[in-house]
Amino acid sequence: MQTQNQILCPRCQQPNLPFLAACAHCGEPLASRALPRPAEPTVPRASPDLAPLIWAMVCFFLALWGLVVAGPLQGMLGVMTHPYLLIAAAVVSCILTGLYLAERFSNQALPHSLLSTRDIMALSWTAAALLGAGQLVKTVVPNMPTITRYEMASSSGSGDGCRVEVFIKGQPGDELWRLTGLNRQSEKEVVGIIVRRPGGGSARLPTTEHTPQGDCAIVKYHLMINGKESDSVDGAGQ
């Protein structure tokens, strides 16, 4: 239903229909002057897809971190936790925040687009917060010991494939510990090796090493601390 413009009475300031010659309230003659329609305030468009997009971004970062922790993307750890990446994300978020505030206070009509400036600003700040959370996780979780080099071990002749001995760079106080379990015959066997930190944290070591011959089984670990090999295994010397 279309609203008709009304005429304002100069005496009583009451609105009247435009076809009336005199005011219906006080009888004052009316001039053919329509009331100005107030300008409609510009309301920022709320995108219904913003919440799902933020949730998708959070799930993407969680999946990425899961692949980094599991090992396939462990090489990306230095990139994802680099301070310059967090600084760049914060700078971009500040620029987008300035654009959003400029549009908001200038009452500029928002263009019709899939994502508004406010949506992009929210997504950028979400990404910056997730990168900042990665920085926090890096300071809390102990660093994974790195394999500096490996040497081919002598073959056992049983056809199990190639075998290697690896040299691991550790920190003062680190110790090698064997994880044991029971096999199907209820016999005790080693199922993994960890590096135990002095503060109580631990990091599990890989069981294979990629070489030009393929993925070779690791048969011995050499924990190197300040250039010297540590002989501490399971809390005691070998």
pLDDT tens-digit readout, 207-229: 888 888 888 888 888 888 888 88
Cβ neighbours of residue 39 closer than 8 Å, sequence gap 6 or more: none
Average pLDDT estimate for 112-123: 77
The predicted pLDDT at position 79 comes to 76
Using the predicted structure, report yes or no on whether residue 14 has a pLDDT greater than 70.
yes
> Three-state DSSP class for 16?
strand
pTM score, whole prediction: 0.46
Whether 154 shows a pLDDT value over 70: the answer reads yes
Give the residue with greater pLDDT, 144 vs 32: 144
Q: Which of 27-36, 86-95, 129-138 has the lowest mean pLDDT?
A: 27-36
Cβ pair 118, 129 in contact under 8 A:
no
Residue 123 has pLDDT above 80, yes or no: yes
Mean pLDDT, all residues of the chain: 76
Give pLDDT tens digits for 61-114: 888 877 776 666 766 777 777 888 888 889 999 998 988 888 888 876 556 666
Question: Six-digit token pair at 31?
Answer: 């001039």
Is pLDDT of 34 > 50? Answer: no
State how far the Cα of 103 lies from the Cα of 119, in Å rounded to an integer.
13
pLDDT at 1: 46
Determine the average pLDDT of the residues in 184-195: 80
Start-to-end CA distance of the chain, whole Å, equals 91
Averaged over 20-42, what is the pLDDT? 63
**Residue 235, pLDDT score:** 63
Sign, Cα dihedral of 112, 114, 120, 123 = positive
pLDDT in tens, 35-59: 455 555 454 555 567 788 888 888 8
Better-scored residue on pLDDT, 45 or 60: 60
pLDDT higher at 132 or 7: 132
**Helix boundaries (H) for the chain:** 50-70, 77-80, 83-105, 117-140
CA distances from 237 to 2, 50, 77, 169, 177 (A): 91, 58, 33, 18, 11
- DSSP letter, residue 34: B
5 compared with 217, residue with greater pLDDT: 217
Mean pLDDT of 150-165: 76
> Rounded to whole angstroms, how far apart are CA atoms 52 and 122?
12
